[in-house]
A and B are shown apart, each in its own frame.
Chain A
């Protein structure tokens, strides 16, 4: 009997160990390392040949080859620089990168999304990018990665948000199509008319999330931080007004479905099913909508309120502060972000938009339809609003997002939600 007791203890011990091991499963990387491209007849091969490493997530799942083609074009121009490209899936990318940066094995240059960029730049693990010509890069996009006057990242691509609308539903409701002058009031009126078309037809879907909130707040003249970024202003009157408008669309006029009414359906699916009048969403939806919608649709610049504000997303190409090959890395990412050749490959592949200011290079993008009004994508750039680049960006966006969701579910008032978000952000985050 004693033996059996011991056996149990032993098995229990072993199993506990096994549990501990299984709890820390290692992330799998979907790495598609590239082989060196053939060296072409080097024209200016005077410089010492150098090999650098570049990690990215944005090409995974469809554009690995485009990136490889870009590199081949680059290598032809700069035969002395060899770039080893490693592509890692988005889900594992940031845990991998964190481990590698902390372990001192980070690549020479790599890609970061805007959320993680703030954390990295503020923690001193990125090198300032100097000595390269940035004049071809879009200024707003460039500014997104400028921290305290220092350029820590280059915008490799950009996407923005436009108002996409279902023309057929507008026709059915006898409404005029949205224009660039529309305000949130016009949207509300149109949304109500479309909602009246049927029980399961909705006017608009603008989720009550952090990303939508900071933009709509800006439309009402609000912001998350005060001017010099030294204090949170999450529960300001303008912000409350903005959030109230968003929440009322769900709970009061119900022109926007609640989470329960959505029933786990994706917002794009709702639009593609023809049951949604308007959806402010990213321009990366064009491909899916062109394929998935059997009705007419078009786009307009996002509506504003007291002023216009449109959302903007970009991924940064950054250089590792400890890289011994900073110069070559800067040459490669600058080429990747601003050269004509890279821009063309990017547009041809329908990947996303290069963040360059040369309109001629972007012309082929405008020729593709649908949507007919592609010009709205560029018109939106006049009203870009950037999220604040604070060190604890992810923590702030999680806190605000959680409270907003509670308000949208009706479990607390908008004022309560923003007051609590303000309190928690102040308690947990020290602003510099």
Chain B
């Protein structure tokens, strides 16, 4: 049956858009002004040697300070960038597996249907709600080599704790430890929702077939949770590249540059050393790195993420 008055899909979309536009406009305007525009401006700044103090909009300013790709060249050819990238990668390599394992453990514990589990869900979420500044300050004293709680606990079981934040080799693992503590509640909760969403039937069927709890977890729960795990990996990797407040408060990049990371450098160059152009170029490099990593993850997901639940 052919109906000449059948609405064309184009018109429907148009009509929908017209209705949606007023609702979308406020957030789109915000996005434009506070996200896209600064992005554009920072791209322009990255091509200059602007110091962050001169008036940017003064006539002739851009032409006078234009240095082309000089900043990018200087960054990539300098020793510091590779060291900082190395430090950041070191953090990521330590952080992601530890965080994932801790979050999975949290999710497993909290998925039990027992009395008081809601209280534990809240307790595990408290670090997430704590401000980084407060958490970092407290951890700084916990990690104090001689008087800190952690080393005193270790001493009880006969282990001589390291110098943590004062030790070049242990400073980054200490930062990882604090970050995992802070983030496992958040990611644990996301994994938990992925876990709860799995159809109980699969597990029941498996137990009838004689699968034990370990087999059920590895063969059924984990594969069906992969969408949630994938999401956690994407977000945590972006997060990890943007590592900043805990570093600023606990080590300020020390000892001897062992915890200098990308965003810490960007902040110092922009707001402490008055080299805004250099800082902008640095942040664009970071942006590209994050984008490439996320793209690789997106491409790679087809191999292991399972959307069959």
Whether a CB of chain A sits under 8 angstroms from the CB of B308 is yes
Interface window among B89-97, B109-117, B211-219, B230-238: B230-238
Whether a CB of chain B sits under 8 angstroms from the CB of A177 is no
Inter-chain contacts of B307 with A (CB < 8 A): 1-2, 4-5
The minimal Cβ–Cβ distance linking A191 to chain B, given in whole angstroms, is 21
- A102 and B148 within 8 A (CB): no
- A260 and B145 within 8 A (CB): yes
B 176-232 contacts with A by CB, 8 A: 227, 230-231
The minimal Cβ–Cβ distance linking B189 to chain A, given in whole angstroms, is 13
* Residue among A2, A12, A398 making CB contact with B272, cutoff 8 Å: A398
Complex CA distance for A11 and B52, rounded to whole angstroms: 35
Inter-chain contacts of A8 with B (CB < 8 A): 227, 230-231
The minimal Cβ–Cβ distance linking A47 to chain B, given in whole angstroms, is 29
Complex CA distance for A19 and B163, rounded to whole angstroms: 32
0/1 string, B156-172, CB within 8 A of A gives 1: 00000001001010000
Inter-chain contacts of A2 with B (CB < 8 A): 307
- B35 and A1 within 8 A (CB): no
Inter-chain contacts of B53 with A (CB < 8 A): 98, 101-102, 119-120, 123, 125
The minimal Cβ–Cβ distance linking A15 to chain B, given in whole angstroms, is 6
Closest to B227 in A: A8
- A102 and B242 within 8 A (CB): no
A 107-153 contacts with B by CB, 8 A: 119-120, 123-125
Inter-chain contacts of B238 with A (CB < 8 A): 16, 19
Closest to A322 in B: B55
Whether a CB of chain B sits under 8 angstroms from the CB of A431 is no
Given contacts A123-B51, A259-B166, A263-B144, are A409 and B271 in contact (CB under 8 A)? no
Closest to A260 in B: B145
Whether a CB of chain B sits under 8 angstroms from the CB of A285 is no
Whether a CB of chain B sits under 8 angstroms from the CB of A184 is no
Complex CA distance for A409 and B171, rounded to whole angstroms: 14
Inter-chain contacts of A11 with B (CB < 8 A): 231
Whether a CB of chain A sits under 8 angstroms from the CB of B239 is yes
A 1-47 contacts with B by CB, 8 A: 1-2, 4-5, 8, 11-12, 15-17, 19-21, 23
Whether a CB of chain B sits under 8 angstroms from the CB of A368 is no
A 360-401 contacts with B by CB, 8 A: 392, 394-395, 398
* Residue among B34, B268, B308 making CB contact with A398, cutoff 8 Å: B268
Inter-chain contacts of A101 with B (CB < 8 A): 53, 55
Given contacts A11-B231, A16-B238, A394-B273, are A406 and B55 in contact (CB under 8 A)? no
Whether a CB of chain A sits under 8 angstroms from the CB of B54 is yes
* Residue among A124, A259, A263, A409 making CB contact with B147, cutoff 8 Å: A263
The minimal Cβ–Cβ distance linking A266 to chain B, given in whole angstroms, is 12
B 115-151 contacts with A by CB, 8 A: 140-141, 144-148
The minimal Cβ–Cβ distance linking A76 to chain B, given in whole angstroms, is 35
Inter-chain contacts of A20 with B (CB < 8 A): 35
Complex CA distance for A101 and B31, rounded to whole angstroms: 26
Given contacts A123-B274, A260-B163, are A12 and B35 in contact (CB under 8 A)? no
Inter-chain contacts of A4 with B (CB < 8 A): 227, 307
Complex CA distance for A395 and B271, rounded to whole angstroms: 11
Closest to A104 in B: B55
A 303-336 contacts with B by CB, 8 A: 322
B 256-295 contacts with A by CB, 8 A: 256-257, 263, 268, 271-274
Whether a CB of chain A sits under 8 angstroms from the CB of B57 is yes
A-side binding surface: helix, strand, loop or mixed? helix
Interface residues of A, count at CB 8 A: 44
- B239 and A19 within 8 A (CB): yes
A 405-422 contacts with B by CB, 8 A: 405-406, 409, 411-412
Complex CA distance for A402 and B253, rounded to whole angstroms: 9
- Which of B56, B145, B168, B273 has the most chain A CB atoms closer than 10 A to its own CB? B273
Whether a CB of chain A sits under 8 angstroms from the CB of B70 is no
Whether a CB of chain A sits under 8 angstroms from the CB of B173 is no
- B254 and A405 within 8 A (CB): yes
Whether a CB of chain A sits under 8 angstroms from the CB of B86 is no
The minimal Cβ–Cβ distance linking B307 to chain A, given in whole angstroms, is 4
Given contacts A19-B238, A98-B52, A119-B274, are A263 and B268 in contact (CB under 8 A)? no
* Residue among B230, B231, B254, B271 making CB contact with A98, cutoff 8 Å: B271
The minimal Cβ–Cβ distance linking B55 to chain A, given in whole angstroms, is 5
Closest to B56 in A: A102
Whether a CB of chain B sits under 8 angstroms from the CB of A103 is yes
- B52 and A403 within 8 A (CB): no
The minimal Cβ–Cβ distance linking B58 to chain A, given in whole angstroms, is 8
The minimal Cβ–Cβ distance linking A413 to chain B, given in whole angstroms, is 13
- A260 and B166 within 8 A (CB): yes
Given contacts A98-B52, A102-B53, A411-B256, are A15 and B235 in contact (CB under 8 A)? yes
0/1 string, B20-54, CB within 8 A of A gives 1: 00000000000100110000000000000001111
Inter-chain contacts of B31 with A (CB < 8 A): 17
The minimal Cβ–Cβ distance linking B137 to chain A, given in whole angstroms, is 10
* Residue among B148, B234, B242, B271 making CB contact with A94, cutoff 8 Å: B271
Closest to B272 in A: A394
- B54 and A17 within 8 A (CB): no
The minimal Cβ–Cβ distance linking B61 to chain A, given in whole angstroms, is 10
- B35 and A264 within 8 A (CB): no
Complex CA distance for A295 and B245, rounded to whole angstroms: 40
Given contacts A1-B308, A5-B307, A95-B271, are A125 and B54 in contact (CB under 8 A)? yes
Complex CA distance for A264 and B51, rounded to whole angstroms: 35
Complex CA distance for A120 and B51, rounded to whole angstroms: 10
- A402 and B254 within 8 A (CB): yes
Inter-chain contacts of A12 with B (CB < 8 A): 231, 234-235
0/1 string, A73-107, CB within 8 A of B gives 1: 00000000000000000000011001001111000
Q: A17-B31, A21-B35 are in contact. List 8 more A-B contacts (CB 8 A).
A: A4-B307, A12-B231, A102-B54, A103-B56, A104-B57, A260-B146, A263-B148, A409-B255
* 7 CB-based A-B contacts, threshold 8 Å: A17-B35, A19-B239, A21-B34, A123-B54, A264-B147, A398-B273, A402-B257
4 closest cross-chain pairs (CB), A and B? A406-B256, A263-B146, A264-B144, A263-B147
Residue positions of A touching B, CB distance < 8 A: 1-2, 4-5, 8, 11-12, 15-17, 19-21, 23, 94-95, 98, 101-104, 119-120, 123-125, 259-261, 263-265, 322, 392, 394-395, 398, 402-403, 405-406, 409, 411-412
Residue positions of B touching A, CB distance < 8 A: 31, 34-35, 51-57, 140-141, 144-148, 163, 166, 168, 227, 230-231, 234-235, 238-239, 242, 244, 253-257, 263, 268, 271-274, 307-308
